[in-house]
Structure 1
């Protein structure tokens, strides 16, 4: 299985437990980022929006409540199925989806170039390289909004599991990589940071699949079941549940393309 295939498998699995867009917790977090974008001049009302790596519609659907139309793009079929179910439940008729990677082929095939007032990318591995960022600019008529990993990612369980495999559980490439890509294009943008926490709870087997998927998709190391189970045993409560929390820093940027 290639690295890309492993990552796709990981996100299909993640889709089962990914947050719902209109839960109270999700709306509080996304609302804060949307407000930050508006404070920097982004006009959402009546806009055409592209949401890259849209997942279950965490941003796609709340944005659709105000935008003229929103297109969500994601590699995972499972994520888009959940987005579609939420779209129907909330009666949003101005949302379309595209399944596939964030690529030049997708832009050409679906006519995405200069088709949107706002191109949005939030906490997605789809936008990391200079080419990824340049593609955002090509599809935007006015604004780009990006939020990604900052300099902090802590999770005691994951850190122990990664360390057992000789790996470091630090933040993936994120805001600083995108900032550097923009600087190379002559676009200087400041990063605004936000701290967040994510809670996870599940059975021992669910925890095993979760940790195994992280190691498999985020490294070239083969997950070792016995090492993972040893770590999970240390985090299993008396009720048989495994609970862990991720503390992270998110970096957010807005820039104009026209």
Structure 2
């Protein structure tokens, strides 16, 4: 298990520099997702929030702009470094971070709301039940519903003889809630992420995604392949189709 945790940390540290980060605008993907929660009746204003698997803080900083306080946890110190840098830039002073795997996290604190977005840290009975240990009212969980398809990675996987894993943590969470007789509302969301990167950033993403499979990387293929996604301005664009479930539980 310790070996698995180390591999997870290495994987997410490897993604940190090319991972999406907080953007201060009100019409992007993160803002739209939080608006879905608000329409359901969730009010982030003045709340004490725990963000599990917070990553670079795309949601964490946005939540802190409304909440009384936010605590973000993540296994990747490099992700948290980016979060703290961006929080400082945005003059956020009510946000703390803890470097930890969720399964190892312990605190005497309780929270009005626990927020989890696309995190593999919540994946079994123990880590799911633990969410309810620390929340007094709300749980917001976002996970994939079977689809995360990258136009860049599709051919990379095929070339390396890899079958892409299914991403179903949203549906898995729904099944667990039903089995454990916990009430929830689920909102299906689908769309396309568009991510612009420089050449090395695109290559790093390809290498990182392949690193979770036991294959020998064909570096020359990767470097040649990403040229198919080069724009006239020299940037590179990846498009990722997704289906997500936003699951909201009120305790």
TM-score using structure 1 length: 0.85
Q: What is the SS of the residue equivalent to 2:105?
A: helix
Higher mean C-alpha deviation, range 133-142 or range 238-247: 238-247
Provide the C-alpha distance between the structure 2 equivalents of 1:197 and 1:78, rounded to a whole number of angstroms. 26
Maintained 8 Å contact 1:56/1:80? yes
- How well do the aligned residues superpose, as a CA RMSD in angstroms? 2.5
Maintained 8 Å contact 2:73/2:98? yes
Aligned length: 250
* CA displacement at 1:239 relative to structure 2: 7.0
Q: How does 1:98-247 map to 2 (within 5 A)?
A: 98-103=98-103, 105-107=104-106, 110-112=107-109, 115-169=110-164, 171-217=166-212, 219-229=213-223, 231-236=225-230, 241-247=235-241
Provide the C-alpha distance between the structure 2 equivalents of 1:209 and 1:156, rounded to a whole number of angstroms. 16
Provide the C-alpha distance between the structure 2 equivalents of 1:222 and 1:52, rounded to a whole number of angstroms. 33
Maintained 8 Å contact 1:44/1:67? yes
1:5-36 Cα deviation digits (max 9, x unpaired) = 333223223222333323337x6322222222
Describe the shift of the 1:169–1:94 C-alpha distance in structure 2 as closer, same or farther (beyond 3 A): same
Describe the shift of the 1:233–1:176 C-alpha distance in structure 2 as closer, same or farther (beyond 3 A): same
Say if 2:20 is the partner of 1:19.
Answer: yes
* CA displacement at 1:241 relative to structure 2: 5.0
TM-score using structure 2 length: 0.87
Provide the C-alpha distance between the structure 2 equivalents of 1:60 and 1:256, rounded to a whole number of angstroms. 20
* CA displacement at 1:154 relative to structure 2: 1.9
Describe the shift of the 1:191–1:151 C-alpha distance in structure 2 as closer, same or farther (beyond 3 A): farther
> Which consecutive residues of structure 2, in runs of 5 or more, have no partner in the other structure?
none
Match of 2:37 in 1: 37
Maintained 8 Å contact 1:199/1:243? yes
Displaced runs of 4 or more, over 4 A:
233-241
Provide the C-alpha distance between the structure 2 equivalents of 1:143 and 1:240, rounded to a whole number of angstroms. 44
Q: What is the SS of the residue equivalent to 1:191?
A: strand
> Which consecutive residues of structure 1, in runs of 5 or more, have no partner in the other structure?
none
